[in-house]
Structure 1
């Protein structure tokens, strides 16, 4: 399952920290950012993804995140 999110993450350092935190919750998944995209895309490829959990996790670190339709 692949899910794509729009975020307000701006810096590579921020994205590295967030990917690390997400991997703690979603081991064995592929997670990456496309910060060159205007929507600062977060892509998660995992067996099971709970969108609300991802949104809440980023929110807890002060970042906006929403499912990109």
Structure 2
């Protein structure tokens, strides 16, 4: 499953910092940022499990960043 979030993360340094925190908190997740996208995308992926977005949101917000789940719009 993949969950996509919009964030307020702006720099490579911020992504590096957060990726380190994610690796410690959610070692089974594959996580990456797309700072080129206007929504500063955070993509979280895991095989064979449903992602609960709430812990991801809490972690990002705990470091002062804004984050919200992007809805699947067609």
TM-score (norm 2): 0.86
4+ runs deviating over 4 angstroms: none
Counterpart for residue 6 of structure 2:
6
CA root-mean-square deviation: 1.0
| Cα deviation 1:18-40 (Å, max 9, x = unaligned) | 11111112113210000000000
TM-score (norm 1): 0.92
The answer for unaligned runs of 5 or more in structure 2 is none
The answer for unaligned runs of 5 or more in structure 1 is none
Counterpart for residue 57 of structure 2:
55
What is the deviation of 1:49?
A: 2.0
Q: How many residues align?
A: 69
Q: Which has the larger radius of gyration?
A: 2
